[in-house]
Structure 1
Amino acid sequence: MTRFLFLIPLILSVIWFVYLRLNGWSMRQGLKGFIYIAAFSVFIAVAYTVLLWLTGR
Protein backbone atom coordinates (compact mmCIF):
# COMPACT_ATOMS: atom_id res chain seq x y z
CA MET A 1 0.00 0.00 0.00
CA THR A 2 2.71 2.46 0.93
CA ARG A 3 4.39 1.75 -2.41
CA PHE A 4 1.68 3.72 -4.16
CA LEU A 5 1.66 6.81 -1.94
CA PHE A 6 3.59 8.75 -4.58
CA LEU A 7 0.46 8.56 -6.73
CA ILE A 8 -1.49 10.87 -4.41
CA PRO A 9 0.32 14.10 -5.33
CA LEU A 10 0.67 12.99 -8.93
CA ILE A 11 -3.05 12.35 -9.38
CA LEU A 12 -4.04 15.51 -7.48
CA SER A 13 -1.68 17.61 -9.61
CA VAL A 14 -3.04 16.16 -12.85
CA ILE A 15 -6.61 16.80 -11.73
CA TRP A 16 -5.72 20.38 -10.74
CA PHE A 17 -3.94 20.94 -14.07
CA VAL A 18 -6.95 19.68 -16.04
CA TYR A 19 -9.26 21.88 -13.97
CA LEU A 20 -7.11 24.93 -14.71
CA ARG A 21 -7.05 24.21 -18.44
CA LEU A 22 -10.78 23.59 -18.67
CA ASN A 23 -11.49 26.94 -17.03
CA GLY A 24 -8.96 28.83 -19.15
CA TRP A 25 -6.57 29.66 -16.32
CA SER A 26 -2.80 29.65 -16.56
CA MET A 27 -0.38 27.63 -14.47
CA ARG A 28 0.71 30.91 -12.84
CA GLN A 29 -2.84 31.56 -11.65
CA GLY A 30 -3.11 28.02 -10.22
CA LEU A 31 0.25 27.99 -8.46
CA LYS A 32 -1.33 28.27 -5.02
CA GLY A 33 -3.25 25.03 -5.65
CA PHE A 34 -0.04 23.19 -6.49
CA ILE A 35 1.52 24.51 -3.29
CA TYR A 36 -1.45 23.22 -1.29
CA ILE A 37 -1.13 19.82 -2.98
CA ALA A 38 2.59 19.68 -2.11
CA ALA A 39 1.93 20.66 1.52
CA PHE A 40 -0.84 18.07 1.85
CA SER A 41 1.43 15.39 0.37
CA VAL A 42 4.28 16.28 2.72
CA PHE A 43 1.88 16.07 5.67
CA ILE A 44 0.75 12.59 4.60
CA ALA A 45 4.37 11.45 4.12
CA VAL A 46 5.38 12.71 7.56
CA ALA A 47 2.34 11.10 9.21
CA TYR A 48 3.07 7.73 7.61
CA THR A 49 6.75 7.99 8.52
CA VAL A 50 5.91 8.68 12.15
CA LEU A 51 3.39 5.83 12.23
CA LEU A 52 5.88 3.40 10.73
CA TRP A 53 8.54 4.56 13.20
CA LEU A 54 6.17 4.20 16.18
CA THR A 55 5.08 0.70 15.21
CA GLY A 56 8.65 -0.44 14.64
CA ARG A 57 8.26 -1.67 11.08
Structure 2
Amino acid sequence: MIKFVFLFPLTLCLIWYAYLSYNGHSVADGKKGFIYITIVSAVIIAFFAIVWLITRP
Protein backbone atom coordinates (compact mmCIF):
# COMPACT_ATOMS: atom_id res chain seq x y z
CA MET A 1 0.00 0.00 0.00
CA ILE A 2 2.82 2.40 0.75
CA LYS A 3 3.92 2.37 -2.89
CA PHE A 4 0.52 3.71 -4.00
CA VAL A 5 0.41 6.60 -1.54
CA PHE A 6 1.02 9.13 -4.34
CA LEU A 7 -2.45 8.32 -5.69
CA PHE A 8 -4.15 10.00 -2.73
CA PRO A 9 -3.21 13.63 -3.56
CA LEU A 10 -3.45 12.95 -7.28
CA THR A 11 -7.02 11.68 -6.93
CA LEU A 12 -8.02 14.61 -4.74
CA CYS A 13 -6.54 17.09 -7.22
CA LEU A 14 -8.37 15.44 -10.10
CA ILE A 15 -11.64 15.62 -8.18
CA TRP A 16 -10.97 19.29 -7.37
CA TYR A 17 -10.19 20.00 -11.03
CA ALA A 18 -13.41 18.27 -12.12
CA TYR A 19 -15.36 20.34 -9.58
CA LEU A 20 -13.80 23.56 -10.85
CA SER A 21 -14.48 22.65 -14.47
CA TYR A 22 -18.06 21.61 -13.79
CA ASN A 23 -18.84 24.89 -12.03
CA GLY A 24 -17.14 27.06 -14.66
CA HIS A 25 -14.12 28.16 -12.64
CA SER A 26 -10.56 28.34 -13.92
CA VAL A 27 -7.59 26.52 -12.43
CA ALA A 28 -6.27 29.88 -11.24
CA ASP A 29 -9.48 30.37 -9.24
CA GLY A 30 -8.90 27.04 -7.49
CA LYS A 31 -5.17 27.49 -6.86
CA LYS A 32 -5.65 27.82 -3.10
CA GLY A 33 -7.61 24.57 -3.09
CA PHE A 34 -4.75 22.75 -4.82
CA ILE A 35 -2.34 24.13 -2.23
CA TYR A 36 -4.60 22.98 0.64
CA ILE A 37 -4.95 19.54 -0.92
CA THR A 38 -1.17 19.25 -1.28
CA ILE A 39 -0.49 20.32 2.31
CA VAL A 40 -3.16 18.11 3.88
CA SER A 41 -2.07 15.14 1.75
CA ALA A 42 1.56 15.67 2.75
CA VAL A 43 0.59 15.68 6.43
CA ILE A 44 -1.47 12.50 6.05
CA ILE A 45 1.29 10.77 4.08
CA ALA A 46 3.89 11.84 6.66
CA PHE A 47 1.70 10.43 9.44
CA PHE A 48 1.33 7.10 7.66
CA ALA A 49 5.07 6.98 6.95
CA ILE A 50 5.91 7.58 10.62
CA VAL A 51 3.41 4.95 11.77
CA TRP A 52 4.82 2.53 9.20
CA LEU A 53 8.38 3.14 10.42
CA ILE A 54 7.38 2.73 14.06
CA THR A 55 5.39 -0.46 13.61
CA ARG A 56 7.52 -2.36 11.11
CA PRO A 57 9.32 -5.40 12.50
Normalised TM-score (structure 1): 0.86
Structure 1 segments, 4+ long, off by >6 Å, are: none
The count of aligned residue pairs is: 57
Q: Which residue is equivalent to 1:17? A: 17
- Structure 2 runs not aligned, ≥5 long: none
Per-residue CA distance 1:7-37 (angstroms, 9 max, x = gap): 0011110110011011110111101110111
Which residue is equivalent to 2:44? Answer: 44
Q: Percent identity?
A: 42
Q: CA RMSD in A?
A: 1.2
- Could you tell me the TM-score, scaled by structure 2's length? 0.86
